[in-house]
């Protein structure tokens, strides 16, 4: 099947009207994009039905062709975030045309960072696992047995990047704390675009492999859920800015010195780029289950933002200093990596972190709390039968207005914060990206991991 870009644009216009946009406040309630890990069996059955209908009609071949054709203009350029926001929304609107209840799920890869292969998305009754030996075609999951037309008639392929160091089927991804510090320390549009593309974006694409490391990556529906998550993280950054410097827009290395303007037309879509900086306006009539948009300053109907504030962190976990960034890190380290926690010293977490905790977090907290409750000395650390060195809450106190932090406690290897992996040079070359920029991102991640492990931190999120 040969497809021309003009045919794609004409088809999109029929259902989405991409050639014009009033960009006014959405007149209906925002529909909600949900975390795929929270989908029930019936939720996924409904999703599957809509996906198969839209796939049979050829839409995904067209959407993949768009991404493949425009690839170089959309990566390592200023358009990376706003273009993908508009693109995945167009896919979502197409699917809503056939099923009005459909919303695009997002895939929070950060919460699965420690062992990506165990993620719900790779279950055989969800999106399926790795490709088989030889042709790398997947054999189970949503797209097993389907044919894809771009770049030629083929199966859906995956080729996981194995983690030899830790004997894992897939190399580890960015963890929640890495993502949080990336957002918290981004000062402008250039910063957030850089850390999202060179961090979470690159690692998921590379480590799933197969179609996902090629310009035709939208063949794999994980692509759309992954980019919904990147969009959600960008929205978290925008909310943190709270309309300050919201429309900052600057060129990146891939723009090759070209001056860019937020009033330029978005590639393919005949509308200004600025239209896609606001969620809750124009076509972007969605919210996330843990992240709501901040409406424009001066909007007379502005509603209070309701971002999640990590209510999943139980009082039990909050009482364990080793599991709290604000308790375990010294002031300088906290200010360097998590400045939002320094601004509000009463908080032990930040809404830049996940709204869910790992299944093992409560049991780890129980293990750490037991010696704290039993032993008499208020100023010493105690080693548990499991090899932990528990820090007593009483050692976290204030003296002359300065917090007294405990010495780093020993942590079993399997609970230490994971060290990052470098993106292989083969991926960097294939994606026409900068090796130097990837190294900058890697060193940032390594510095954070070393600081957390030196402090004895145990993440409740992984």
Which pLDDT score is estimated for 389? 55
* Distance of alpha carbon 118 from alpha carbon 129, whole angstroms: 10
List C-alpha distances in Å: 441 to 174, 179, 228: 11, 11, 22
Of the candidates 100, 96, 69, 54, which has an alpha carbon nearest to the alpha carbon of residue 221?
54
Which pLDDT score is estimated for 400? 36
* Distance of alpha carbon 202 from alpha carbon 174, whole angstroms: 10
- 348 touches 357 (CB < 8 A): no
- 106 touches 34 (CB < 8 A): yes
**Six-digit token string for 253:** 């290395």
**How many residues in the chain?**
462
| Burial (0-12, 13-18, 19+ Cβ within 10 Å), 372 | buried
CA dihedral defined by 207, 210, 211, 214, rounded to 10 degrees?
Answer: 70
pTM of the model: 0.87
Which pLDDT score is estimated for 427? 83
* Distance of alpha carbon 161 from alpha carbon 159, whole angstroms: 7
Which pLDDT score is estimated for 35? 96
- Give the DSSP H/E element, type plus range, for residue 286: strand 286-288
Which pLDDT score is estimated for 20? 38
**Topology adopted by domain 5-288:** di-copper center containing domain from catechol oxidase (1.10.1280)
Instruction: Tell me the pLDDT of the chain (462 aa) as tens digits.
Output: 444 444 454 455 444 443 334 489 998 899 999 999 999 999 999 999 999 999 999 999 999 999 999 999 999 999 999 999 999 999 999 999 999 999 999 999 999 998 999 999 999 999 999 999 999 999 999 999 999 999 999 999 999 998 887 778 999 999 999 999 999 999 999 999 999 999 999 999 999 999 999 999 999 999 999 999 999 999 999 998 877 778 999 999 888 888 999 999 999 998 999 999 999 999 999 999 999 998 887 775 545 455 554 455 667 787 888 898 888 999 999 999 999 888 655 455 566 887 778 888 888 888 887 765 454 554 455 555 555 555 444 333 333 334 444 455 578 888 999 999 888 888 888 777 889 999 999 999 999 999 999 999 999 988
Which pLDDT score is estimated for 59? 97
Which pLDDT score is estimated for 266? 95
Domain range summary for the chain, segments of one domain joined by +: 5-288, 315-455
Which pLDDT score is estimated for 272? 95
């Amino acid at each position: 099947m040969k497809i021309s870009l003009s045919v794609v644009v004409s088809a999109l216009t029929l259902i989405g009207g991409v050639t014009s946009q009033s960009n006014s406040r959405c007149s209906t309630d925002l529909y909600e994009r949900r975390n795929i890990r929270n989908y029930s069996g019936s939720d996924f059955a409904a999703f599957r039905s809509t996906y198969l209908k839209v796939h049979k009609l050829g839409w995904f071949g067209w959407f993949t062709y768009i991404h493949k054709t425009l690839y170089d203009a959309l990566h390592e350029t200023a358009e990376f975030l706003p273009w993908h926001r508009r693109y995945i929304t167009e896919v979502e609107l197409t699917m809503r045309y056939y099923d009005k209840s459909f919303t695009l799920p997002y895939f929070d890869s950060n919460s699965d960072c420690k062992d990506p292969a165990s993620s719900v998305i790779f279950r055989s009754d969800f999106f399926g696992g790795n490709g088989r030996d030889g042709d790398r075609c997947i054999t189970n999951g949503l797209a097993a047995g389907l044919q894809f037309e771009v770049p030629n008639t083929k199966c859906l392929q995956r080729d996981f990047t194995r983690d030899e160091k830790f004997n894992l089927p897939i190399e580890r991804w960015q963890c929640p704390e890495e993502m949080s510090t990336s957002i918290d320390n981004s000062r402008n549009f250039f910063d957030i675009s850089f850390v999202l593309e060179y961090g979470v974006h690159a690692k998921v694409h590379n480590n799933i492999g197969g179609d996902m490391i090629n310009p035709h990556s939208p063949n794999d529906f994980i692509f759309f859920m992954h980019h919904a998550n990147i969009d959600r993280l960008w929205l978290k950054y925008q909310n943190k800015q709270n309309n300050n410097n919201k429309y900052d827009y600057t060129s990146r290395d891939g723009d090759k010195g070209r001056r860019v303007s937020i009033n330029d037309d978005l590639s393919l879509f005949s509308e200004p780029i600025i239209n896609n900086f606001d969620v809750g306006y124009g076509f972007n009539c969605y919210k996330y289950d843990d992240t709501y948009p901040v409406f424009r300053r001066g909007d007379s109907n502005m509603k209070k933002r309701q971002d999640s504030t990590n209510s999943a962190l139980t009082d039990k976990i909050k009482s364990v200093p080793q599991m709290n960034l604000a308790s375990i890190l010294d002031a300088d380290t906290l200010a360097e990596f998590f400045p939002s926690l320094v601004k509000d010293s009463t908080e032990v977490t930040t809404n830049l972190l996940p709204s869910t905790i790992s299944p093992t977090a409560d049991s780890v907290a129980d293990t750490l709390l037991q010696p704290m409750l039993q032993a008499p000395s208020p100023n010493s650390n105690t080693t548990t039968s499991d090899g932990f060195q528990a820090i007593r809450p009483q050692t976290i106190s204030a003296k002359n207005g300065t917090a007294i932090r405990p010495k780093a406690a020993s942590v079993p290897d399997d609970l230490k914060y994971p060290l990052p992996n470098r993106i292989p040079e083969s991926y960097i070359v294939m994606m026409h990206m900068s090796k130097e920029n990837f190294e900058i991102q890697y060193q940032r991640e390594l510095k954070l991991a070393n600081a957390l492990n030196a402090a004895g931190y145990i993440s409740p999120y992984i």
